[in-house]
Amino acid sequence: MESLVLDYTLAMDDALGEKQGVSRYILEALRIPLQDARDHLLARRREGTLAWTELPRKDVRGVLEYAERVQGRFENLVVLGIGGSALGTTALATALLHPYHNLLPASGRAQRPRLFVLDNVDPDQTQDLFSHLDVRKTLVNVVSKSGTTAETMAAYLIMRDLLEDQVGRGRLAEHLVFTTDPEGGVLRKIGRAEGIQMFDIPAGVGGRFSVLSPVGLLPAALVGIDVERLLAGARFMDEWITETDLVYNPAYVYAALQFLEHTRYHRDIAVMMPYSARLRDVADWFRQLWAESLGKAVDRRGRTVHAGTTPVKALGATDQHSQVQLYAEGPDDKFFTFIKVGEFGYDLTIPDAHPGAEELSYLAGQSMGGLLNAEQRATAWALARRGRPSVTIELPRVDEAGLGQLLYLFEAATAVMGELYDIDAFDQPGVELGKQATYALMGRPGFEELATEIRAEVPERTPYRIERK
Amino acid sequence: MESLVLDYTLAMDDALGEKQGVSRYILEALRIPLQDARDHLLARRREGTLAWTELPRKDVRGVLEYAERVQGRFENLVVLGIGGSALGTTALATALLHPYHNLLPASGRAQRPRLFVLDNVDPDQTQDLFSHLDVRKTLVNVVSKSGTTAETMAAYLIMRDLLEDQVGRGRLAEHLVFTTDPEGGVLRKIGRAEGIQMFDIPAGVGGRFSVLSPVGLLPAALVGIDVERLLAGARFMDEWITETDLVYNPAYVYAALQFLEHTRYHRDIAVMMPYSARLRDVADWFRQLWAESLGKAVDRRGRTVHAGTTPVKALGATDQHSQVQLYAEGPDDKFFTFIKVGEFGYDLTIPDAHPGAEELSYLAGQSMGGLLNAEQRATAWALARRGRPSVTIELPRVDEAGLGQLLYLFEAATAVMGELYDIDAFDQPGVELGKQATYALMGRPGFEELATEIRAEVPERTPYRIERK
C-alpha cells in the first residue's frame, strides 16, 4: 500500500524564521511527554479501553452480507443520524462516490441506492426529502448509540409513520435497519420487539470515533464503497503508528506540532484545507473529532484549562477567494493543515481556445490537476513567507486505502493531543446542559424547574431587541 | 414588509455578568466612533464611492428579460465562478430553491434549469460534472470581474471546447452568458468579438458585495427566484439602516457588538450558526464577506494592525453534536450569531409511534420546527450560562424578502466594522502574493525569478517529510 506523506517543512524555523517557526530543539523537547502519551495509549489498548483502535481489525462479514442481501432492492438509502452518526458517512460518500451520485440513473450507480443523510430537524428539509422519495423503495438506517437522540428520533418517528402508511405495518421491518448500542436503549428495544435488522456500535466507541464501525461501514457498503479496503488503509496506518519511532511517526509528529502551535505559539485555530473537492467533508468530520475531543473545561486532575483549538474547515482552491486574505494578513493565530492529492481520477488538459488572449496563454496545455496542486504549493509558500505555518498531507489518491489511512491518522493524533493536554478526549460533558434545556423547553416531565429558570433568564421581550415597525 | 429582529439580550451583562457581558455604558461609549463611521459612510454614498449600496435600486429589467427569453430552453445552468462570483448564488439557491431541486423532474422545477455552481478547479469534480451534463441543453454563465481569474477561466476553456464540439462553433454564443466588468478584461473582449450576451458587474462593486448585482441576480432569475422581492428586502433594510438612530439600528448595533467582543473582550472568532438548513450557505457567504473585508494587515494610516476576527460557519441543530462541546467548554474566544426562523415552509408533527417508550413521549405531538427553535434557545441559554455571548437574528421566514434584508444587513455591518477598525474593507491585497506564486509555478512568462525562489524555499525533498516505505 502506498503511504500518505506528512510534510512539515513549512512549520519549521528553517522556512519561517526563528520567531514564528518550530525548531528541531523545541520539537525534541516534547519527546518525553510524547513518549508518556504513547506509553499511556498503548497501555489502554492492552487493557481494551480504546475500543476504536480495534475497529480496523473487526470482522465485517455481517455488514457485507446484509449489504449483499438487500443489493438492488432499494432506490434510496436514508441515514437518520446526527454528529458522529452522520459525519463519517458523509465524509466517505463525498470522497468515494461520484460527486453527482444521486443524479445518476441506476445503471450509473451500479444499481446502488441514492444516499440521503438527514442530520438535522429542519422541517422544510425533512418534508422536502420525505415527500420527494418513494418510501416504498427506501431503506432507512437509524443511527443512534443511545437510541434517544432527540433529532434522530424525531425524524425516525415521522419516517416510520410514513413507511407504515405506505408499506403497511407488516413490511415495516424490511425498510428499517438500526445501528445502536449492543445492549441498552430504546432503539434496541424496538428493534428486538419488531424483528428489525440491527448492527452494533461496539461498547466504548464514541460517535466521533465510530466511522470505521457499522455507523460508517454499513451505509458505505450499501452504496458500494469497498469497506474492506478502507479498513486495510486504517490497519496500515495503525501499524505505522504503533511500530514507528516518534520522529517518523505521523500521528505523534502531527500532534506535537498542533500542540506546540497552540501552547507555545498561541495559534488557537486549526485550519483544515484539502485541495480536493472530494475531501471537503473529511474536513467537516475532522471538525467534530477535534472540537468535541479537545474542547474541554477541566483536565484529568480537575484543573480548569479550557483546552482545545478551534477547527476550521476550508477548501482549496475555492477558499483562496474567500479566506486567504484573512489567513495571510489577519491575526497570526492559525495553523494550517493542507491535504493534497497525488493522482486524480481524471486529469483534464486546458485547451488553447483563445490563442490571441495573452492573459490566458499560460493556462493552455496545462492540466487542471497541475493547476490545483500549484495553487496549493503557492498558497502554502505565500503564507510561509508571512511566517504562517502549515503542514501538508499528501494522499497518493482519493480512494478507500487512502481514506482509511487519513481518517485513522486524525483519530490517533486526536488521542495523542488528549494526552498532551492531559484531558479526557473521549467524553463530552459540555453538551449536557443544552440537552437538558431543550428537554425543559419541550416540556419533558422532570425538567419543569429548569424551564421556569430559562424563561426567566431569556425572556421573550427585552430592551435589547430591535425590529422595524 | 415584516422586519427581521436583532436580539442581543444574551450579549449583555444582565445575562452574562459584568466580566463577560457588555454593559450599556460600554456600548454607549462607542457612540462617537459609530457616529463617525456613519458620517463617513454616508459621505461616501453621496460621493458615489459605495457602489454596492446602490444595487438594491438598480434597474434589473435586463436580467429579467434575458431570463424570460431563455426560459424553458435549458435543462442545466452551470455557473463558473469562484469566491464572490459563486458564494452569493449558492447562498440564494440553498435558501430559496427546493433542497433537492436538481433531483426534481422538470415539472417539479417549473421547467427551470437545474443549477450547478462549479467553484473549484478540481479535475475529478469538473470531469464528473461535464460528462454528466448534456451540454447541448446547458447554459453556461461565466462570472469573473477581471475576466482573468485562473480557476474560472480554466473551467471556461474546457467547457467551451466541449460546447464547440457538441453544438458547433456557430451556436456557441447561445450557450454562453458572461457577467464581467463593463469595460475591461479578456471576457469582455471575447464576448464582444463573438456576440455573447453579457451583464455588467458595476464599477466599484467588489466580488463579496456583488450578490445583488447580476452576479447573483442572473442565476437567481434563471432558476426562478423572485429577484425583485429580494431587492425589495434589501431596500427595506437599507432604509432602516439609513434612517434610524444608532441605538435602534441593526447594522450599527451588530457591528458595535462584534467590535467590542473582539477588541475589548478578546473574542476573535465570529461564529455564524443558523438554525435552518436553508440558511447554511448564507453562513458560507458571510464567511467571505467578513474575512476578506476585515482581515487586513495595515490600517488606513499604514499602521500594522492584523485586524479581523475569524468567521466560522456552523449549523444548528446539527453542530450541537459536533461543535457545541468546544463552544461551551473550550476557550472563551467566540461570539455567536444565531439565526432562527419564525415560520417554516412546512411544519411537521412528530407522531406518537411508540406509546410505550417513555424516553420518546415528550416528542409526541410536538412540531419539528418547535423542536429546532427550542434547541436554538436552549443552546444560546446554555452558552450564556457559561458567560459566552450571542446575538440572535430572527428571520420571519426564509423567503426573498427575508434574504434581501439579511444579506444587506451583513454587508452594511461589515462596512461599519471597516470604519471602526479604520481599515479599507473593500480591497484584498493579501491574496496577490499567492496568485503570483501560482503564475510562477504554472510557468507564466515574467514570473521566472519567483519560480526559482519558491522552488528553493519549498524543495521537493526535505528532512521534514515522513512517509512509510
B65 and B40, same domain (yes or no): no
What's the rounded Cα separation, in Å, for the pair A31 and A38?
10
- Kindly state whether residue B437 falls inside one of the protein's structural domains: no
- Kindly state whether residue A41 falls inside one of the protein's structural domains: yes
B179 and B79, same domain (yes or no): yes
A274 and A393, same domain (yes or no): yes
At B469 the pLDDT is 83
What's the rounded Cα separation, in Å, for the pair A400 and A397?
9
Angle at B384 between CA B382 and CA B388, to 5 degrees: 115
- Helices B61-70 and B227-243 meet at what angle, rounded to 10? 160
A162 and A116, same domain (yes or no): yes
Contact A384 B458 (CB under 8 A): yes
Domain boundary residue among A387, A405, A421?
A421
Specify the DSSP element, H or E, that contains A10: none
Distance from CA of B203 to the nearest CA of A (A): 19
3-state secondary structure chain B: CCCCEEECHHHEHHHHCCCCCECHHHHHHCHHHHHHHHHHHHHHHHHCCCHHHHHHHCCCHHHHHHHHHHCCCCCEEEEECCHHHCHHHHHHHHHHCCCCHHHCCHHHHCCCCEEEEECCCCHHHHHHHHHHCCHHHEEEEEECCCCCCHHHHHHHHHHHHHHHHHHCHHHHHHHEEEEECCCCCHHHHHHHHHCCEEEECCCCCCHHHCCCCHHHHHHHHHCCCCHHHHHHHHHHHHHHHHHCCHHHCHHHHHHHHHHHHHHCCCCCEEEEEECCHHHHHHHHHHHHHHHHHHCCCECCCCCECCCCCEEEECCCCHHHHCCHHHHHHCCCCEEEEEEEECCCCCCCECCCCCCCCHHHHCCCCCEHHHHHHHHHHHHHHHHHHCCCCEEEEEECCCCHHHHHHHHHHHHHHHHHHHHHHCCCCCCCHHHHHHHHHHHHHCCCCCCHHHHHHHHHHCCCCCCCEEECC
Distance from CA of A29 to the nearest CA of B (A): 17
At B182 the pLDDT is 95
Q: Kindly report the pTM of this predicted structure.
A: 0.97
Cβ-based contacts of A466 with chain B (< 8 Å): 5-7, 248-250, 253
CATH assignment of the domain containing B107: 3.40.50.10490
Contact B148 A443 (CB under 8 A): no
Domain boundary residue among B421, B438, B462?
B421
Distance from CA of A101 to the nearest CA of B (A): 10
Contact A268 B4 (CB under 8 A): no
Contact B353 A99 (CB under 8 A): no
Q: What is the full per-residue pLDDT of chain A (469 aa) written as tens digits? A: 999 999 999 999 999 999 999 999 999 999 999 999 999 999 999 999 999 999 999 999 999 999 999 999 999 999 999 999 999 999 999 999 999 999 999 999 999 999 999 999 999 999 999 999 999 999 999 999 999 999 999 999 999 999 999 999 999 999 999 999 999 899 999 999 999 999 999 999 999 999 999 999 999 999 999 999 999 999 999 999 999 999 999 999 999 999 999 999 999 999 999 999 999 999 999 999 999 999 999 999 999 999 999 999 999 999 999 999 999 999 999 999 999 999 999 889 999 999 888 889 999 999 999 999 999 999 999 999 999 999 999 999 999 999 999 999 999 999 999 999 999 999 999 999 999 999 999 999 999 999 999 998 887 778 899 999 8
Mutate to test the interface with B, among A172, A260, A468, A469 (most CBs of B within 10 A): A468
Q: Is B2 a catalytic residue?
A: no
At B112 the pLDDT is 97
Beta-bridge mates of residue A198: A178
Cβ-based contacts of B333 with chain A (< 8 Å): 268, 310
Mean pLDDT rounded to a whole number for chain B:
96
**Window A:438-457, CB contacts with B under 8 Å:** 438-445, 454, 457
- Kindly state whether residue A136 falls inside one of the protein's structural domains: yes
B247 and B379, same domain (yes or no): yes
- Kindly state whether residue A467 falls inside one of the protein's structural domains: no
- Domain tally for chain A? 2
- In this predicted structure, the answer to whether residue B82 has a pLDDT above a threshold of 80 is yes
A16 and A104, same domain (yes or no): no
Question: What is the DSSP annotation of A419-469?
Answer: HHHTS-TT--GGGHHHHHHHHHHTT-TT-HHHHHHHHHHS-SS-SSEEE--
- Kindly state whether residue A213 falls inside one of the protein's structural domains: no
A38 and A64, same domain (yes or no): no
B127 inside 8 A of chain A by CB: yes
Q: Domain of B278?
A: 5-45+230-421
Tens-digit pLDDT profile for residues B205-262 = 999 999 999 999 999 999 999 999 999 999 999 999 999 999 999 999 999 999 999 9
The complex's ipTM works out to 0.97
At B364 the pLDDT is 94
Angle at B364 between CA B363 and CA B367, to 5 degrees: 75
Tens-digit pLDDT profile for residues B388-406 = 999 999 999 999 999 999 9
Between B307, B437, B464, which is nearest A378 by CB?
A: B437
Q: Report the pLDDT averaged over residues B405-412.
A: 98
Distance from CA of A1 to the nearest CA of B (A): 9
What's the rounded Cα separation, in Å, for the pair A273 and A316?
6
Are the beta carbons of A330 and B298 closer than 8 angstroms?
A: no
Contact B466 A6 (CB under 8 A): yes
Domain boundary residue among B201, B222, B256?
B201
Mutate to test the interface with B, among A96, A122, A278 (most CBs of B within 10 A): A122
Are the beta carbons of B32 and B40 closer than 8 angstroms?
A: no
A31 and A175, same domain (yes or no): no
A155 and A243, same domain (yes or no): no
B107 and B183, same domain (yes or no): yes
B275 and B153, same domain (yes or no): no
**Window A:250-279, CB contacts with B under 8 Å:** 250, 253, 268-269, 276-278
Specify the 3-state DSSP secondary structure of A404: helix
**Window B:34-73, CB contacts with A under 8 Å:** none
B27 and B63, same domain (yes or no): no
At A462 the pLDDT is 86
- Kindly state whether residue A458 falls inside one of the protein's structural domains: no
Torsion of CA A353, A355, A356, A359, to 10 degrees: 80
Contact B368 A154 (CB under 8 A): yes
Catalytic residues of A: 292, 321, 435
- Kindly state whether residue A379 falls inside one of the protein's structural domains: yes
Nearest-CA residue of chain B relative to A327?
A: B295
At B356 the pLDDT is 85
* pLDDT, greater one: B469 or B173: B173
Contact A344 B124 (CB under 8 A): yes
